[in-house]
Amino acid sequence: MSLKNRLASLVNLVVGPSGRATRSADPVRDAGPSFPQRTSTMKTLLAIDVSPRYEHSTSRKLTALFVDKWKAAHPGGRVIDRDLLKTNLPFVDLPWIGGAFTPPEQHSPESAAAIKISNDLVAELQAADHIIIGTPMYNFTIPAVLKAYIDHIVRVGVTVVDNVGQLTGKKTTIILASGGDFRPGSPFEAYNQASGYLRQVLGFIGLTDLDIVLADRARAGDAGETAVEQFGEVLASAAAA
């Protein structure tokens, strides 16, 4: 049986009239591997960088500051660095769907390879006590590479079971850098699609203890240094939590 037909017979994921994700047949509940739970008393921070501008990036400068403050507040803590620009993040395709919705023993070589990065990314989230995401705002929303990352970590039967997020008990901080002014009360407040989307989709997988630092009017270059000074106190407070 082809991968496409096997998927059709095993999984029928639909969205009902209420907008809730349901399945018309008994699903393959745990298609992914069993991830180890956190056992160490030491805290773990997962730091996710998104911007392609590296040393010229305001969001990366602010994320680096957050990591430094977090290390100072959590001596002996572990930091997992995830640079999305250095990560091979394929978009969801048929082999990926095969890996996500069939048991591992039924994976084709293509499906096993496609789902591996997703499993690795989910394992990082499960290991973390605090997640920091530093990202620019592109055209009122998030960069494509961050959307690709999100598609890898929103996994039915793994990070979401029966519409209940599984990544609970974790703190999440998002640094959203933008060149414009999207603060509440500003003329362009309604144009900020990024904050609402991130809060909704991450909350869906259980990351509901979430704060967004809107680093507005922080263009790359010298303004990045100004942003570090401007938002330093806010980030220090968030890192100490």
Output b/e per residue, 155-172; b: 16+ Cβ within 10 A.
bbbbbbeeeebbbeebbb
Q: Specify the number of domains making up the chain.
A: 1
For residues 224 and 194, the model is more confident at 194
Q: Is residue 195 included in any domain, yes or no? A: yes
Q: Is residue 153 included in any domain, yes or no? A: yes
Structure-token pair, residue 67: 């990591």
- pLDDT confidence tier of residue 217, bands split at 50, 70 and 90: confident
Whole-angstrom Cα distance, residue 100 to residue 186? 42
Question: What residues contact 64, with CB distance under 8 A and at least 6 apart?
Answer: none
Q: Is residue 9 included in any domain, yes or no? A: no
Q: Is it the case that residue 40 has pLDDT exceeding 70?
A: no
Cα torsion angle, 130, 136, 137, 141, sign: negative
Q: Is residue 16 included in any domain, yes or no? A: no
Give 105-135 pLDDT, tens digit per residue. Answer: 999 999 999 999 999 999 999 999 999 999 9
Question: Which domain, by its residues, includes 168?
Answer: 43-239
- pLDDT confidence tier of residue 41, bands split at 50, 70 and 90: confident
Q: Is residue 21 included in any domain, yes or no? A: no
Q: Is residue 58 included in any domain, yes or no? A: yes
Give 61-113 pLDDT, tens digit per residue. Answer: 999 999 999 999 999 999 999 999 999 999 999 999 999 999 999 999 999 99
SS3 for 18?
coil
Please state the pTM of the whole predicted model.
0.82
Residue with tokens 């008990």: 169
Q: Which residues pair with 116 in a beta bridge?
A: none
For residues 187 and 23, the model is more confident at 187
Whole-angstrom Cα distance, residue 178 to residue 188? 12
Cα torsion angle, 2, 3, 9, 10, sign: positive
Give 157-188 pLDDT, tens digit per residue. Answer: 999 999 999 999 999 999 999 988 898 899 99
CATH number at 58 reads 3.40.50.360
